[in-house]
Amino acid sequence: MVAMSKIATGNGHGENSPYFDGWKAYETNPFHPTERPEGVIQMGLAENQLCFNLIKNWLIKHPEASLCTPQGVNKFKETALFQDYHGMPEFRQAVAKFMGKVRGDRVKFDPDRIVMSGGATGAHEMVAFCLADPGEAFLVPTPYYPGFDRDLKWRTGVELVPVNCESCNNFKITRNALEAAYVKVQEANLRVKGLLITNPSNPLGTVLDRDTLKSMVRFINDKNIHLIGDEIYASTVFMEPEFVSISEIIEEEDVECNRDLIHIVYSLSKDMGFPGFRVGIVYSYNDSVVSCARKMSSFGLVSSQTQHLIASILSDDEFVDNFITESKKLLFNRHKYFTWSLSQVGIGCLKGNAGLFIWMDLRKLLKEETFAAEMELWRVITNEVKLNVSPGSSFHCQEPGWFRVCFANMDDYTMKVALLRIRTFMLKNNEAMVPLKLCRPSSLKLSLSRSLSRRMDDFMSPGIMSPHSPLPQSPLVRART
């Protein structure tokens, strides 16, 4: 057998993580309401499927936006021919304007600083290549997206060093935690090149407050290291507090910052629900990084056909304004319904206001406070309950028992089936339920089969626990004491 490179044969992709193992379980037996009703439901994919009707209706009204229609075919040739890797001007202008809109027009973005890439994955790798050499390190607050270990490390050779955050203060990023991680890296004889933050957070579903952002800017400025702000969930904030971009912070008068150290990663995968279009963006305030990233974008350009379509959609101001508003409403309703339903069976979650997921607390179901117990519980949920949820350890969470659960990547029927499975699982593992009178929410209109509706009516009936109530002593809980 011909030998392959160390990069090709190594474990840098991170495919052995339980984060990806759950996907494999789903792919081998995916849920379908009629063909595979007992299949695995995908709750590990942070995808926004709630707004497709809005996009579909726009496309029907604007057939000229597609090159494959009689109305748009006249632009086929000019779009199909070679395009400069800077990107189409109308595309960069539309994306820059959209980035401003989702930040409340409190800050403007320069289209000439827009560098495109193949999704946020390509954007992160591009930034890592520009800022660090192999063996140098980025600090990353925990818990963080498992794909970062692939995106930033695999082909670049850089290291990611966790900044440990704790549930006792809702996983807030503190200056003390940043300093401790920085010292740890220095003691390991590694050079820190930057701090990577995700705001809004994946997997927490929370936003960073203004004071925390200012503290981080002061930290990177003091250390003379880079700050990469992953803001791909900027428009998924569906209730207060509002999202504050790092681009706003550096504009404030009381913030002293070397702007050459500030870089933003963005995409349309989450905010618009277009992961298949692979539209990733690097926006840097550093001229040298913009120049280098633009050259590197040759390895992951966005197709000209996609650029044309995106530019057409995002240039429609009335549609964009309505889309942003409606998307927030849909996410709010789904999040409210989902977390309320979980609370009825005693499952608590970190209080969130953004993202396409919740950070679910199952610590009381662990046999013991170990990651081995977390993995045992995760295997039960995956293989027996048939739900692909992601264990906290795959996000480098330092406390066992947390799980990320995605709620926006399915229709109402599938969500109801998933919630019914969760209820059945909790009833099986609890000896009693605490009576509690509750009102049934009416934020979602659901169309279900008669039998499933009856079972879900039982799910909504009084006599189920509050998330603030202690879980009854189930066999799983008793095993801890």
* pLDDT of the residue at 9: 78
pLDDT at site 16: 74
If we measure between CA atoms, which residue out of 140, 41, 15, 106 comes closest to residue 420? 41
Token pair, residue 277, equals 């279009």
Do 395 and 49 meet the contact criterion of CB atoms below 8 Å apart? no
Number of alpha helices (DSSP H) and beta strands (DSSP E) in the chain: 17, 13
Catalytic-role residue among 153, 214, 270, 386: 270
Question: CA 29 to CA 38: how far, in whole Å?
Answer: 9
Each residue's pLDDT tens digit, 104-117: 999 999 999 999 99
**With respect to CATH, is domain 67-315 assigned 3.40.640.10?**
yes
Out of 149, 151, 230, 361, the active site residue is 230
The yes-or-no answer on residue 230 being catalytic is yes
Out of 19, 26, 144, 145, the active site residue is 145
The single-letter code of the amino acid at 210 is R
Q: Give the integer Cα–Cα distance in Å for 132 and 155.
A: 12
Closest CA to 457 of 411, 410, 423, 414: 423
Q: CATH 3.40.640.10 spans which residues of the chain? A: 67-315
Residue 202 sits at the vertex; the CA angle it makes with 402 and 443, to the nearest 5 degrees, is 85
Q: Tell me which of 173, 232, 264, 422 is the catalytic residue.
A: 232
pLDDT above 70 as % of the chain = 87
The string of pLDDT tens digits covering residues 20-70 is 788 888 899 999 999 999 999 999 999 999 998 999 998 899 887 776 777
CATH class of 18-52+321-429: alpha beta
Per-residue pLDDT tens digits for 323-344 = 999 999 999 999 999 999 999 9
Contact 66, 59 (CB under 8 A): yes
Contact 242, 209 (CB under 8 A): no
At residue 121, the 3 state secondary structure works out as: helix
Q: In the structure encoding, which two tokens stand for residue 381, read together?
A: 């949920």
Q: Is the pLDDT of residue 453 over 50?
A: no
Cα–Cα dist 18/23, whole Å:
9
Known catalytic residue: 270?
yes
Q: pTM here? A: 0.85
Whole-angstrom distance, CA of residue 203 vs CA of residue 396: 11
Select from 36, 38, 40 the least CA-distant residue to 25.
Answer: 40
Mean pLDDT of 257-268: 96
CATH 3.90.1150.10 range(s) for the chain read 18-52+321-429
Report the pLDDT value the prediction gives residue 428, as an integer from 0 to 100. Answer: 86
Q: Is 437 a catalytic residue?
A: no
- 465/365 Cα distance (integer angstroms): 15
Q: What is the pLDDT of residues 59-93, one digit of tens each?
A: 899 887 776 777 766 777 666 666 777 788 999 99
